Structure 1
Amino acid sequence: MKDIEVKVGQKFPLTIKRLGINGEGIGYYKRKITFVPDALPGEVVLTQVTKVNNRYLEGKVLKVRESVPERVSPPCPVFFLCGGCQLQHMSYPAQLNFKRQIIMDSLEKYAGHVNPETVRPTIGMDKPFRYRSRNQFPVEKSGRNIRAGLYKEQSNTLIDLDECIVQDKRTMQATNAIKVIMSELNIDVAKNVNKEEGVRYIMTRAARHSDDIQVILVATTRDLKKLDLLTERIMRLPNVVSFGLNINADRDLLTGSETIILDGQQAIHETLGETDYEVTAESAFPINVRQADVLYETILAAAGLTGSENVADLFCGSGGSALKLARHARALRGADLNEQEVINAAYSAAANNMENCLFEAGEPADKLEDWIQDGFYPDVITINPNRSGLTADEIDAVNEIKPAVFIYISRNPSTLAKDLAHLTKAFTVDYIQPIDMFPQTTQVEAVVKLVRKRRL
């Protein structure tokens, strides 16, 4: 078929067939796939072309000519500018259905032998706003005034946010107060880390079960001007119990490896169920603490522990789900590449008087091999890798060991499906349980229960 001629700025009506993994509407203009953000399946939208590629088009909605019942008015006034959320224009039940569907679509594409009906309905939240207990906002200066917020989608234009309806109110109140303090003290800001020294991000974290707030400024240097005065004023803010600097001059990283607590506590205290956790500035502890309860209960249910099992938790982080599992297991061992996370997990285990846990830093697949050589054979293995999924070595190790139950916690439907294509050589997928950890966005977490195909 001869390629169609389309120019940037061209307008045409488009029927949206489905949503892409980033929440964009997908239609076909003269058989060429066309991506249109903020459009919903079943709608007819007047589209203006913003990008032309040999394989696809990108456009924007000029007018919704035929809408669908799933469309709602976004409660955030900057939704159509800000890149933080993608789905506020979609009803919450429709968001949950979409998140289930993208997992099913990924299975069809990469692991067609896995029955898509194993994907259960997505577990959502009763109140899908104000759930983020931690923020990390980039900063810039306008004269002496400090601005902080999120970047306009696909741009370097910063939207100064005084309010964000997915953030805990306390994090926004603290951030706004810090902007005022930094402005009054004329604190240096480094928007371009190659040319400037100063603060890059404001990070705040609020504990769910207390009023504790931790403030961390990500800066290119520890030698900020007026740092003593800045520390004193931030520590006087309501409920701030910890203040520090994270040193990071790498433009490609959000945070660096070094954090210095300048005043107050090294960590803030969080509670989930019966378990207390110590959460440090670098911790990957869940941002959605309310839904973390649901996540950990789902993992525990999948494990089906009776109290006699050995459990291995790979990429255990700060011990979130590990400590939940350990209460119902004979013994648990956890491993993570991040040494500070392992220290946090061990400290939390000790604080909860849990003596059946051992946490070690190192390559998780290597640690698993060491534990087996030491006589610790896991009946249940859980693994929670980053969005890139499992390595070939990790897949081979699990397939070779063949625990009775293998639980895979995934944050990326595509890499999950690709990994399941290999894991199903030794395991059968019992079910996949999506959980909405980040309402109003396209992100979805999934707990996958796999059971051994045959006994050893």
Structure 2
Amino acid sequence: MPDAILYPLEIESLDLEGQGIAHHEGKVVFVEGALPSERVLAHITRRKPSFDKARIERVLRPSSQRTTPPCPHFGVCGGCAMQHLEPAAQLAIKQRALEDALQHIGKVKPQQILPALQGPTWGYRYRARLSVRYVAKKGGVLVGFRERGRSYVADMRECRVLPPHVSQLLMPLRGLVQGLSCPDRIPQIEVAVGDEATVLCLRHMEALTDSDIAHLHQFAIKHNIVWWLQPKGPETAHPLNPDDIDALAYALPAYGLRMHYRPADFTQVNPAINQALISRALALLQLQPTDRVADLFCGLGNFSLPLATQVREVLGIEGSSTLVARAREDAARQGLENRARFTELNLFEVDDNWLRRLGHFDAMLIDPPREGAMALAEALATLTPSERPRRVVYVSCNPATLARDAGILHHQGGWRLAAAGAVNMFPHTAHVESIAVFEP
């Protein structure tokens, strides 16, 4: 039960959920809404054996980095955790989180700290999954992100991290779903914004009627969007209008490329940061025109195809057959099929013998999901000096698994962590993207 007593607390630091960290009566207290160096009054909302949770009631001494959140839903909506903190300070915290993970988990220290990559802090989120719920007590349908720490859908009327034209669709989408034949059987709407089209993928658990389809067509014309429908799993997603099958694409102008994808495909949410990340990764690999390069966990070729414009050969390996097919299609579409080859393989189950059979690579890029690349790290650690790539660039979305893999490479294989730095792919959130460079 919440504690009605207000406790004065000195906030020492910030965790990655945007909670202030304090100590009270020998226990750690996580204080929602508090910032480092602040003195606050807070009440305890939850007590655990090793820590307490608290919510701020009054700021007695504010931080110089505190700012007014521009979003009226901040604090309720769980999409953002740090809008009350200056963006530059957010990035510093993420950089520190990366360094702390490398030190405490991997027991390794980068020889160089890379300048953090940053881009637009608002309107950057070109991919999103919006929850949909029919809530009679709220007057009908809600469309948005879930509430912070709860399963309820936030009562949102706008979203500052979505592109403005998508934010403006939140209220019209409520009315649309409310008017369909099965508003209580639509759990989510996936948003995918390409350079020339905005796709909304409607997950519906009951068949849509002819009237429903007519409403969707009218909505698409009025709001200049493209509908996809998903009656079951992701593999069932299809465009309402078959001509829209290739509507989604994003350009990589530095490499003369245009990447095609579908709403269910994995792509980076922040296109400006994605372009900067590709540029940095390729620069850090120190490529030569004669190089043979491996791109592991290559997805639809986001790094592979830019690499293929600069080197002799790229081998992309990915566990998803769908993404492998997409990468091959785009390589052929852009005349790179002779330089970029793609194959499907579960990279969580590889070993050093498999890696040796692939032949020598001059450079290697690894971009795994949150689980990291432990099997690859162990395989790389066993290679002899003559078998090793001269550089490995590791793009990570989880500092903990990056640190674990860095520890394996360093302590088991003698690899040096030459550099590492944060990438602010998701401003105002707790998500930490990063990039690291390893040398044999």
After TM superposition, the score normalised by the length of structure 1 is: 0.88
2:405 counterpart of 1:419: yes
- Whether contact under 8 Å (2:81, 2:430) holds in the other structure is yes
Q: Structure 1 441/378 Cα, relative in aligned 2: closer, same or farther at 3 Å?
A: same
1:436 is aligned, of 406, 424, 428, to 424
- Whether contact under 8 Å (2:158, 2:170) holds in the other structure is no
- Whether contact under 8 Å (2:202, 2:227) holds in the other structure is no
Query: For 1:34 and 1:47, how far apart are their aligned partners in 2?
Result: 10
The residue aligned with 2:345 is 362
The residue aligned with 1:124 is 118
Aligned-residue offset at 1:86: 0.6
Which letter maps to 1:245?
Q
2:30 counterpart of 1:10: no
The residue aligned with 2:305 is 323
Count, aligned residues: 425
Q: Relative contact order, CA 8 A, sep 6+: which one is greater?
A: 2
2:191 is aligned, of 204, 216, 224, to 204
Aligned-residue offset at 1:370: 5.6
The residue aligned with 1:260 is 238
- Whether contact under 8 Å (1:206, 1:214) holds in the other structure is yes
Which letter maps to 2:55?
K
The residue aligned with 2:133 is 140
**Larger helix share, 1 or 2:** 2
The residue aligned with 2:357 is 373
Question: Which structure 1 residue ranges, 5 or more long, are not aligned?
Answer: 1-5, 190-197, 249-255
2:396 counterpart of 1:396: no
Query: For 1:439 and 1:235, how far apart are their aligned partners in 2?
Result: 30
Aligned-residue offset at 1:451: 0.6
The residue aligned with 1:409 is 395
After TM superposition, the score normalised by the length of structure 2 is: 0.91
**RMSD across aligned positions (CA):** 2.2
- Whether contact under 8 Å (2:181, 2:208) holds in the other structure is no
Q: Structure 1 99/415 Cα, relative in aligned 2: closer, same or farther at 3 Å?
A: same
The residue aligned with 1:3 is none
The residue aligned with 1:283 is 265
The residue aligned with 2:208 is 224
Which letter maps to 1:271?
A
Which letter maps to 1:44?
R
- Whether contact under 8 Å (1:139, 1:148) holds in the other structure is yes
Give runs of aligned pairs for residues 10-409 of structure 1, distance below 5 A. Answer: 10-115=5-110, 118-125=112-119, 127-143=120-136, 145-189=140-184, 198-207=185-194, 209-210=195-196, 212-221=197-206, 223-226=207-210, 227-245=212-230, 247-248=232-233, 256-263=234-241, 264-267=243-246, 268-273=248-253, 274-355=256-337, 356-364=339-347, 366=350, 372-373=356-357, 376-391=359-374, 393-401=375-383, 402-409=388-395
- Whether contact under 8 Å (1:434, 1:446) holds in the other structure is yes
Query: For 1:321 and 1:45, how far apart are their aligned partners in 2?
Result: 46
- Whether contact under 8 Å (1:97, 1:121) holds in the other structure is no
Query: For 2:352 and 2:227, how far apart are their aligned partners in 1?
Result: 36
- Whether contact under 8 Å (2:381, 2:409) holds in the other structure is yes
Which letter maps to 2:38?
E
Which letter maps to 2:98?
I
Aligned-residue offset at 1:366: 4.4
Aligned-residue offset at 1:31: 2.2
- Whether contact under 8 Å (2:355, 2:379) holds in the other structure is no
Task: Report sequence identity in percent.
Answer: 24
The residue aligned with 1:252 is none
Aligned-residue offset at 1:371: 7.3
Aligned-residue offset at 1:11: 2.1
- Whether contact under 8 Å (1:308, 1:330) holds in the other structure is yes
Q: Structure 1 90/336 Cα, relative in aligned 2: closer, same or farther at 3 Å?
A: same
